[in-house]
Structures are given as C-alpha cells and as structure tokens.
Amino acid sequence: MLTVLVLASIARAPRLIAQAESVSEVHVLSHTHDSTLALARARILLPDVFVIDLSAVFAPDSATVVHQARQVRPPCTVVVHADDHVIGVIAPDAAVAPASTDVQGGLDDTLRRLNGARS
C-alpha cells in the first residue's frame, strides 16, 4: 500500500484526494491546506508520498516548503502539483530537485507509476 499526505487548498483537496484514492493500493493518510501543519504531519505519519499542490497556504513560500518536505526523515517522494497536472516528482534519494522532469499526466497516473515501482 502506498500512503499519501496531501497539501492543497480547501477547494482543491477533495478532488486530489478522490484522484489519489481512485488508485488501488493508495491510501490518503491526511490532508490540510496549511504547509506548517502538513510538514508536522509528515514527520509523524511518515507517508510514502507527500503531494504539494501549489494552491495551498505556504509559510513562508512554496519553494521553502518543498525543500523542507525533502528533509523529512525517513524520506518520502515529493510530488508537486498545479492546475490539474503533476509538474515535478522528487525521489527520496534525489540530490537535486526535480529528480524527474519527465512527468506526464495527472496525480492518479503518477501515483500508479509510483505504486508500480514499489512492487
């Protein structure tokens, strides 16, 4: 099972959660619109994937939050999402972001690929 934490605006979260949970073997552990709370939850819940939608409330800014998400230990895959598209996937062992610029499709497609890679 692939576990997911979603950081997205209140308006966008339900759609992203539905997309994620439409993929078999994917479970959304938690979601929030607040980046500080999302990072705290990531440290406690230890998700496999941390989805960061650029519609969220960021403190101080989205680039810093992505960097902080990469520092969560044990590391998780960070998926950056905007406007119904995945715009970056940063693997846990990536030295430089983004680890993958060959990103196509929506969140559900990305989670299927990540879940398949775990098998």
Question: Residue 118 contacts by C-beta under 8 Å, 6 or more apart in sequence?
Answer: 2, 48
Give the confidence band of 4 by pLDDT, cuts at 50, 70, 90.
very high
- State the pLDDT at residue 116: 87
Cα separation, 6 vs 42, in Å, equals 10
Helix or strand or coil: residue 10? coil
The more confidently predicted of residues 119 and 111 is 111
82 near 54, Cβ under 8 Å? yes
Q: Which has the closest alpha carbon to 7: 39, 53, 45, 59?
A: 53
Task: Tell me the per-residue pLDDT of 48-105, one tens digit each, with 9 for 90 and over.
Answer: 999 999 999 999 999 999 999 999 999 999 999 999 899 999 998 765 444 454 556 7
Average pLDDT, the chain: 90
2-118 carries CATH number 3.40.50.2300: yes
Tell me the percentage of the chain whose pLDDT exceeds 90.
Answer: 82
Cα separation, 84 vs 76, in Å, equals 22
Q: Where are the chain's structural domains? A: 2-118
